[in-house]
Structure 1
Amino acid sequence: MAIVRSQCGQCGVGCGIRAITDTDRRVIIEGDRLHPANGGLLCDRGQALGDAAMTLEGRLLQPLVDGRPVGWDRAIAQVARRLTATLTRHGPGSIALHVGGGLLTEDYYAANKLMKGFFGSAHIHTPWRDGTGAAQRRAFGEDVMPAAYEDIDRAAMILLVGDGIMAHPVLLERVQAARQAGVRLVLLAGKGGAIEADLRLNVNPGSAASLLAGALLHGHDKGRYDADFLARRVVVPDGFWDGLRPGHDIWSIARATGLTPTAIRAFYEEWAATDRVVTLFGGDDRPDLAAAVINLHLASGRIGRPGATPFAMTGAANGMGARETGCVADSLAAHRDFAAEARASIARFWGARLLADGPGLEGEALLQAMRDGQVKALWSIGVDPAAEAWLGEARGLVPLAIRSTDRLAEQGDGWSVLLPSAAWVEKDGTLTGMDRLVSRQRRLFPLAGEARPDWWMLTKVAQAMGWSDAFHYERPADIYREHARLTAYGNAGERLLNLRRHAPISNPAYDELTPWRWGEVPFDGGHFPTPDGRARFA
């Protein structure tokens, strides 16, 4: 018997687990009472990890090339040869990547480095991603989610928008516990749902953004905002308030939301009178909602303080890790953009052979590039039920379709190459929860059959393509250290994502890593990572 502290990995909350395992792949899963994300709580999906661990039925346990079982050496050689041929004949931008939401940060880092630094392509399809990251970059100057779970306990009021929290039962339980302790819970939602709240406003679908934009205007017109804070800490575009007026008077909001003017005014007054407000909203909601929430918190100064912050919920288990490493289509690694200075810095650090020169395609635009023959190869990594239809079309549009997966069912589905990935209980590395909390995922069981970690197969392919000097990783800790060094490279305080303290971490220290949060209290004192130190209204 062995006791392993690891991660649930079923959603963005990042709950810690305590697993009791034996040599027959039997396991007892319980919540880790020492983990700050869940404090011992665990939902049904986390507890079900034990059932998934016991069986190897349906697992892909050997590489398949053109439908035939082969060893790893031959599989790696085939993938390297075919990708090299694609890159040579069709140039940068001819290769695309699809990444699921269940990869570890080390996997995302290796994938992004290979794609952007050596294939010269930023075509990365991430269907689990929402628009919150882009909204935070526009407003704060960096994709930083400013909240911590502890803010829920410190708030005077929690504003819960929509029912997206139902996908995060442990987070919902924390909210309900805060309510029992005296925090007021206000819910903006439709007529369904079973969340208990002190005040429930049943708004029409898609109208919450209008309601909150109206609250922004109401506070301005009533003189409720700190004019000095706005002048010193927030850039308000010329004509912003006048441009916001059409459609955001009380009567227009009433028609849009289905609420009475009296209920709207009462809500606006309560918001204005409450100093510590945490606004929880789902990451899959409309982009205008993220902008409305962020603007409202910026205008009222309810940010950068304990118990006062916007809190964007994300569904992907390690979506934050993917964004930190830049494994998305519209940014480089370490929260860098595609500006010339950032590209030159990352190219030097990586020793990049062919760095992507701008944002890539994703979604329907990437499919169209495949239809037009511009993209000739696709490498898909990770389990991603939401992308099955997209992948079903994409793999038939490209001559070379590579899939890293733990599921045997995908054989015969048109993939040129199938590579056996580690299942979640076999993964080893780190992930970042939705509140910037970095935690260790520790392997509960040995790798089954010939399954390998995703970072390992990416590294082996890169080495086979002649880039061994840049891909010298032997263990996840090697990648974690490099990721930490890159966040600190050329970063003299311009970016909050700075893992400098872990750049020299030893292998034993990495193995024993306890949860820690980067960024301290983001935007403390109203300081933002923009050239002038001021935030921008989205």
Structure 2
Amino acid sequence: MHQARTTCPYCGVGCGVLACVENDRITGVDGDADHPANFGRLCVKGSALHETLGDHGRLTRPRVDGAEVDWETALDAVAERLQATRRDHGKGAVAAYLSGQLLTEDYYVANKLFKGFLGTPHLDTNSRLCMASAVAAYKRSLGADAVPCNYEDIEEAELVVLVGSNLAWNHPVLYQRLRTAKSRNPLMRVVVIDPRVTDTCEIADLYLGLKPGSDARLFNGLLAWMADKGRLDRVYLEKHTTGLDDALAAAREGDGAVEAIAADCDVDPERLETFFYWFASQLHVVTLYSQGINQSSSGTDKCNAIINCHLAGGKIGLPGAGPFSITGQPNAMGGREVGGLANQLAAHMDYHSPGAIDRVTRFWATEHLTPDVPDGPGHKALELFEAIERGEVKAVWIMATNPAVSLPRADRVRAALEKCPLVIVSECVADTDLLPYADIVLPASGWSEKDGTVTNSERRISRQRGILPPPGEARHDWWIITQVARRLGFGEAFAFEHPGEIFDEHARLSGFENRDGADSARLFDISGLAGLDRAAYDALAPIQWPVTARAPQGTARLFEDGRFATPDGLARLIPVRPREPEQALSEARPLRLNTGRVRDQWHTMTRTGRAPRLMNHRAEPFIELTPEDAQALGIEDQQLARLTGAGDDYLGRVRVSKGQRRGEVFVPMHWTGQFSGRASMGGLLEAHRDPVSGQPESKHGAVSLEPLAAGWEATLLVAADLAVDADWCDTAGYWARIPLGGCQRWQLAGGRSGERPDWLAWLSAHLPVAPALWCEDPASGRLRAAGIEAGRLRWWLMVAPPRELPGLAWLDERFQESARGESLDAARRRRLLAGCDDGAADSGPVVCSCHQVGRSSIVSAIHAGDTSVEALGARLACGTQCGSCIPELKSLIEESAEEERAHARAEPKPESIDVA
């Protein structure tokens, strides 16, 4: 056994991972204690990485027009069809749509091929959906797509402001670093600004539950308040910035009183002024912001409103201070470094940058080849698929992403792909919602196989190392692209044989005609890493750019000298005029829709959905709303309901939550047609976008909600190897598939009130094994049954609401035993319909995914006297590994205490006795 160092492929934190390799398998993962992003910490997703591996469900052979072919045939088909499209319809008819899941080397050769040699500007990335507004704001204000801070600044701050970021769930390792820093520094304060009360609020000293879309009004109010109270850093402003007067004039439009701002944001005025005072009074302030800010039709302005306040107070370029945009994907920043956005060229050069087109053309030119670089930007993500819909773009190559699910108006995206003459998909998973639209499917390598670099939220470049060989005939994305380029006649420019060679060219381009220290220098520069041989590239330690001759060890923090990446070296304060969300509420759609991630899942679940324990915390798609709204709509907790929005409907299970605001609902972004019938949140959203960044407004939908009428609900467990006719997905009104260790769980609902299927006929139609055990209550419609074949459990059915389920761990163990060929003994066979051992307690829904500790077990321990997180950890081990469940543990402790207080208040008082 040996350990291999690599990098986690999930969020933008960029945690170092130690993979334990034994007999050509990764048997476990640990956090890398030497990696400066995480110092050994891992969240539950990272710690389950080895559980997502294996050849099952992987694409292993290329396909052309539905038929499996060899690589020569597939690569020839890609090259011939791209060339024909370009010849017959022009360069602009060809496009690519990339992903922050690609490594920097993959991104580089894709950008070089499409923009440099196919001559089309239409190459964009799904980073447009999460980071484009933050990028545009940094460039408008600071002069470059350059995060000024690092993670240590979070720990060194006196005030940390979290805006539109559920850090506890979306970037758990950073949250744990902040939580630890706060416990060590009693003077540190944390403010959370978010429409939802999330687990992140567990460490908040102040919470502002603002109205969705009002962020710019709030930070404009802060800027004006700082000016009115004499809290501006006039020296810093005069020496290092420009634009204050215009920014202040815009901020002061409308009523500037704290009460008026509070009313517009729907927050308490005293709490708002407390935040203003805290921000203005501290120099060491870090503002962390994420998709709640970015995913808006005015996201760029919101980001600039935050940056304005930092510049106005001089709270940037020093330890513990700065506006810090937290990246969503593992390599969104690396993709931007190489030109992965449609408005970029390469190495942070834009089309409008003086001399950039000529510079890139000359760098990419070879002895016999001259690049055909476009003269202007291409279609951004939403525009790209609208161009496909109009028939202007006739060939698109999609790599490592799923626009059939993730984009707004996903129904229109799917229709556009359906009629597109050529759709090429590079993918590592055999079943996604995108693959039915692909004419050519190319099997790509995945995490543990890919070899290259990624860049995290703090500009830190890390190696993601290839540990295992790709399964079957899967190949690395950079290899696939270079092979196609050679067939197109561009082999001289794509003679790469190793990712280290690509990285070297990327590093050299970053320093090409980029004078280190000169006023005109481009800030992104890793020329100090050029010239690495393969051994040095493989051993590359994590390092933050810029990496130059003047900074060979990298650069931890930017703008410390107060000089910015603008032509005159001055940062710009940008006038911001707040705007309401584009998608307005109406009588037909009166509820504001918010979307986001859940703790244990990632994007469209192609990776996390392969790890059963990651499915237990939130097993089904859900709709979260307040108790008051639920009562008004006649909907109960755990009932199924339907959301109706812009395109597709969304079916999910209701979760009543006091953390929601009235008139608002929240749904997760992860579920696809592979895991549920109608739970794609993209179909609920109109395709509104920020006019500057092009980022979609994914946080501000408008929907209606109604109960889903269903005559029955059922849970069906099916052995993983049992061949079944799963067309129940078509007949059930609602279905969700939930992988378990030894079986697949299907949650089903259908029919109208009072309807009861003939379950014996239903089972015979869909399952090849007849019922061996059967128990029915005709009066209530309840039923339990099990199929046994050769002594092995093959399926198990319960017709009843899922709240009546036993804990499924016991049944899953029986399926796993059956998969090993073990027969059920008499005692366990007798307990099958009960679904548990005699007298066993149900542990309830999983709270701690690391140790699979359920809610009921935790509540019982609390009632037994374990009324602290530490005590619960000592008894049950929950909260002792990644720490992601700690906020939920604290909530359960508080709920229990509140129940006890309510019970005490309700106790009858003894009657007084008059003894007179």
5+ residue gaps in structure 1?
A: none
Match of residue 538 from structure 2: 511
Deviation for aligned residue 1:66: 1.1
Match of residue 110 from structure 2: 111
Q: 1:374 to 1:235 in 2, by over 3 A?
A: same
Deviation for aligned residue 1:237: 6.3
Match of residue 186 from structure 1: 191
Pick one of 350, 357, 365 that aligns with 2:364: 350
Deviation for aligned residue 1:433: 0.5
Q: 1:173 to 1:444 in 2, by over 3 A?
A: same
1:201 aligned onto 2:208: yes
2: CA distance, partners of 1:522 / 1:68? 52
Deviation for aligned residue 1:226: 2.3
Task: Decide whether the 8 Å contact of 2:191 with 2:275 is kept in 1.
Answer: no
Deviation for aligned residue 1:353: 2.3
Pick one of 382, 385, 389 that aligns with 1:367: 385
Moved more, 484-493 or 234-243: 234-243
Q: 1:140 to 1:68 in 2, by over 3 A?
A: same
Match of residue 400 from structure 1: 422
Summarize the alignment of residues 328-477 of structure 1 with structure 2, pairs less than 5 Å apart.
Answer: 328-339=341-352, 341-351=355-365, 352-384=370-402, 386-387=405-406, 389=410, 392-410=414-432, 413-477=436-500
Indicate the SS of the match to 1:425: coil
Summarize the alignment of residues 163-182 of structure 1 with structure 2, pairs less than 5 Å apart.
Answer: 163-165=165-167, 166-182=169-185
Indicate the SS of the match to 1:529: coil
2:278 partner letter: E
Indicate the SS of the match to 2:223: helix
Deviation for aligned residue 1:248: 5.6
Pick one of 155, 158, 163 that aligns with 2:157: 155
Indicate the SS of the match to 1:171: helix
Relative to the length of structure 1, the TM-score reads: 0.96
Number of residues of Structure 1 aligned to a counterpart in Structure 2 = 537
Indicate the SS of the match to 1:395: helix
Deviation for aligned residue 1:363: 3.0
2: CA distance, partners of 1:207 / 1:347? 44
Deviation for aligned residue 1:448: 0.9
Q: 1:343 to 1:490 in 2, by over 3 A?
A: same
2: CA distance, partners of 1:169 / 1:427? 24
Asked which structure has the greater CA Rg, the reply is 2
Cα-Cα RMSD: 1.7
Q: Please give the per-residue CA displacement for 1:440-465, whole angstroms capped at 9, x wherever unaligned.
A: 00112111111111011001100110
Task: Decide whether the 8 Å contact of 1:61 with 1:448 is kept in 2.
Answer: yes
Indicate the SS of the match to 1:3: strand
Pick one of 240, 251, 264 that aligns with 2:259: 251
Pick one of 555, 564, 572 that aligns with 1:536: 572
Deviation for aligned residue 1:154: 1.1
Indicate the SS of the match to 1:526: coil
Q: Report 1 or 2 for greater relative contact order, CA contacts < 8 Å, sequence distance ≥ 6.
A: 1
Q: 1:240 to 1:212 in 2, by over 3 A?
A: closer
1:145 aligned onto 2:147: yes
Deviation for aligned residue 1:387: 3.1
Task: Decide whether the 8 Å contact of 1:283 with 1:312 is kept in 2.
Answer: no
Summarize the alignment of residues 85-124 of structure 1 with structure 2, pairs less than 5 Å apart.
Answer: 85-124=84-123
Match of residue 215 from structure 1: 222
Task: Decide whether the 8 Å contact of 2:223 with 2:248 is kept in 1.
Answer: no
Q: 1:73 to 1:391 in 2, by over 3 A?
A: farther
Match of residue 65 from structure 1: 64
2: CA distance, partners of 1:480 / 1:399? 34
Task: Decide whether the 8 Å contact of 1:37 with 1:149 is kept in 2.
Answer: yes
Indicate the SS of the match to 1:408: coil
Match of residue 267 from structure 1: 275
Deviation for aligned residue 1:223: 2.4
5+ residue gaps in structure 2?
A: 547-554, 575-916
Moved more, 498-507 or 352-361: 352-361
2: CA distance, partners of 1:455 / 1:203? 45
1:511 partner letter: D
Moved more, 227-236 or 430-439: 227-236
2:195 partner letter: G
Task: Decide whether the 8 Å contact of 1:7 with 1:440 is kept in 2.
Answer: yes
Summarize the alignment of residues 310-325 of structure 1 with structure 2, pairs less than 5 Å apart.
Answer: 310-325=323-338
Task: Decide whether the 8 Å contact of 1:122 with 1:328 is kept in 2.
Answer: no
2: CA distance, partners of 1:363 / 1:84? 23
1: CA distance, partners of 2:419 / 2:166? 34
Match of residue 16 from structure 1: 16
Q: Please give the per-residue CA displacement for 1:15-60, whole angstroms capped at 9, x wherever unaligned.
A: 010011123524211111111011110011112210112x211111
Match of residue 126 from structure 1: 125
Task: Decide whether the 8 Å contact of 1:62 with 1:449 is kept in 2.
Answer: yes
1:51 aligned onto 2:51: yes
1:226 aligned onto 2:262: no
Task: Decide whether the 8 Å contact of 2:97 with 2:399 is kept in 1.
Answer: yes
Q: 1:277 to 1:402 in 2, by over 3 A?
A: same
2: CA distance, partners of 1:370 / 1:235? 42
Deviation for aligned residue 1:371: 2.5
Task: Decide whether the 8 Å contact of 2:452 with 2:464 is kept in 1.
Answer: yes
1:478 partner letter: E
Q: 1:203 to 1:31 in 2, by over 3 A?
A: same
Q: 1:17 to 1:394 in 2, by over 3 A?
A: farther
Match of residue 32 from structure 1: 32
Match of residue 4 from structure 2: 4
Deviation for aligned residue 1:412: 6.3
What is the percent sequence identity of the aligned residues? 41
Deviation for aligned residue 1:266: 2.4
1:399 partner letter: P
1:35 partner letter: H
1: CA distance, partners of 2:460 / 2:393? 36
2:194 partner letter: A
Deviation for aligned residue 1:496: 1.6
Task: Decide whether the 8 Å contact of 2:140 with 2:572 is kept in 1.
Answer: yes
Indicate the SS of the match to 2:289: strand
Deviation for aligned residue 1:188: 1.5
2: CA distance, partners of 1:355 / 1:87? 15
Deviation for aligned residue 1:238: 5.5
Task: Decide whether the 8 Å contact of 2:450 with 2:466 is kept in 1.
Answer: yes
Indicate the SS of the match to 2:426: strand
Task: Decide whether the 8 Å contact of 2:126 with 2:401 is kept in 1.
Answer: no
Deviation for aligned residue 1:205: 2.3
Q: Please give the per-residue CA displacement for 1:457-481, whole angstroms capped at 9, x wherever unaligned.
A: 0011001101111111100000100
Q: 1:284 to 1:163 in 2, by over 3 A?
A: closer
1:496 partner letter: L
2: CA distance, partners of 1:108 / 1:414? 23
